[in-house]
């Protein structure tokens, strides 16, 4: 069964608990919906994530679908659809003619090369620690994990950004406990007992745990330089099942992709685009809620344009509330989108029905539709109704 990825307002969503939705009457259509909303808290989002029992849909197991919205405009009153005059309908999109948009198997893009030698490594870590928001000690640990596996299993092609993504998903780089890379007792016993240059390996030590994590990732013989091998290794590493495992993989991929991009251009770290992207990554796993403006506004999650607006609110950039109004407020970006750009779907002559935030490497973060969680998808596939990208700026 094709799962719609439309961010359309079919009906009021049962789990909406916000008392701030009175003015939000036209999610994802051009309207006079509120232009502002309360600032959202990343920490609150993380706390709410424990309540989520909604599926993440990814191309590895089941497919999500971006369906064209020309035949099903958003309600004007929150209940009944308003028909688009036939003269304004686009035959190419009427009837759901869009193609698939799934999370295709991919690996993070290549990051800045890890230097060798104690002093160059320290200088590298000090330079990137601030822009990446990763403690320098943790960065050095991830780099040492890569360097160790270069020698032990060169065909694995482990990158430090993969370890950094795992560190972000497991413990916020050691800020959330004494097991910074989330190693199981069995993994630590098998891979952490003997590490060259470390007399007494310790689970809490970033160097020790990074080498052990690298060995665990490479133990299957997978090549982490390619999408299939990368996903296989991450799936085998965490060992969870169902939505929990999928959320972990998405968080690892999203953060690793961000770190790789910033490692090549650390000056962008304070830009609104990066701040918005960080916020959006922090919402992975929260539920889609029609008209939802997030936990700080009293809702369990977001709809598509609520997520993009909240992300840029966090970055100090005000956006209109709906996907259609966001599309018409931003200057279109020619060619391929860049990190933080908004990517839109629908028919510009009638209505834009969906929006996501571009992560890079062909990926977007988005709130798909009822019954799904905020997640990462491949942003554009042949035959879908991708319209183009817009770039918010301060």
For 64, half-sphere exposure in the C-beta direction (CA atoms, 13 angstrom radius) is: 27
pLDDT (average), residues 100-113: 84
| Domain ranges, ordered by start, for the chain | 3-106+269-390, 118-225
Q: How far is the C-alpha of 66 from the C-alpha of 10, rounded, in Å?
A: 15
Q: From residue 209, how far is each of 87, 97, 189, 195 by CA, in Å?
A: 63, 49, 11, 10
* pLDDT computed for residue 239 by the predictor: 73
Write the class of the CATH domain 3-106+269-390: alpha beta
Tell me the per-residue pLDDT of 43-75, one tens digit each, with 9 for 90 and over: 444 444 443 434 555 444 333 333 333 222 343
Q: Are 59 and 102 spatial neighbours (Cβ–Cβ below 8 Å)?
A: yes
Question: Which pTM was predicted?
Answer: 0.81
pLDDT (average), residues 149-160: 96
pLDDT (average), residues 313-337: 96
Secondary structure E strands in the chain: 3-4, 64-65, 332-333, 342-347, 351-360, 363-366, 375-378, 386-390
* pLDDT computed for residue 313 by the predictor: 97
* pLDDT computed for residue 5 by the predictor: 52
Q: Give the residue among 206, 205, 163, 365 at the shortest CA–CA distance from 276.
A: 365
CA quadruple 291, 297, 301, 306: dihedral sign: positive
Q: Are 312 and 278 spatial neighbours (Cβ–Cβ below 8 Å)?
A: no
Tell me the per-residue pLDDT of 185-201, one tens digit each, with 9 for 90 and over: 999 999 998 998 899 99
Give CA torsion, residues 246, 231, 98, 333, to 10 deg: 100
DSSP classification of residue 183? -
Tell me the per-residue pLDDT of 207-238, one tens digit each, with 9 for 90 and over: 999 999 999 999 989 999 999 999 999 999 98
């Amino acid at each position: 069964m094709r799962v719609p990825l439309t961010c359309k307002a079919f009906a009021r969503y049962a789990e909406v608990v916000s008392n701030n939705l009175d003015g939000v009457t036209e999610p994802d259509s051009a309207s006079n919906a509120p232009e502002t909303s309360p600032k959202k808290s990343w920490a609150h989002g993380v706390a709410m994530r424990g309540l989520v029992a909604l599926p993440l849909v990814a191309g590895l197991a089941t497919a999500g679908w971006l369906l064209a919205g020309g035949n099903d405009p958003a309600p004007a009153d929150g209940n009944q659809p308003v028909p688009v005059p036939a003269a304004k309908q686009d035959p190419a999109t009427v009837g759901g003619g869009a193609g698939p948009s799934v999370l295709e198997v991919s690996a993070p893009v290549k990051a800045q090369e890890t230097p060798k030698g104690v002093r160059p490594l320290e200088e590298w870590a000090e330079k990137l620690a601030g822009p990446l928001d990763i403690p320098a000690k943790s960065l050095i640990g991830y780099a040492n994990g890569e360097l160790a596996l270069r020698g032990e299993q060169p065909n694995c092609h482990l990158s430090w950004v993969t370890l950094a993504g795992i560190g972000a998903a497991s413990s916020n780089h050691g800020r959330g406990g004494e097991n910074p890379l989330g190693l199981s007792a069995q993994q630590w016993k098998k891979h952490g007992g003997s590490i060259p240059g470390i007399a007494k390996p310790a689970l809490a030590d970033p160097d020790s745990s990074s080498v052990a994590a690298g060995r665990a990732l490479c133990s299957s013989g997978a090549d982490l330089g390619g999408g299939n091998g990368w996903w296989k290794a991450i799936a085998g590493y965490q060992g969870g099942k169902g939505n929990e495992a999928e959320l972990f993989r998405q968080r690892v991929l999203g953060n690793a992709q961000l770190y790789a991009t910033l490692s090549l251009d650390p000056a962008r770290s304070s830009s609104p685009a990066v701040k918005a992207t960080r916020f959006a990554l922090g919402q992975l796993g929260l539920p889609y809620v029609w008209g939802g403006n997030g936990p700080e506004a009293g809702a369990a999650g977001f709809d598509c344009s609520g997520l993009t607006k909240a992300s840029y609110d966090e970055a100090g950039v005000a956006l209109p509330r709906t996907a259609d109004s966001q599309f018409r407020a931003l200057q279109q970006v020619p060619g391929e989108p860049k990190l933080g750009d908004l990517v839109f779907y629908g028919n510009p002559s009638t209505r834009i029905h969906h929006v996501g935030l571009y992560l890079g490497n062909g990926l977007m973060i988005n709130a798909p539709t009822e019954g799904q969680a905020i997640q990462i998808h491949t942003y554009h596939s042949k035959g879908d109704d991708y319209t183009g990208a817009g770039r918010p700026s301060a």
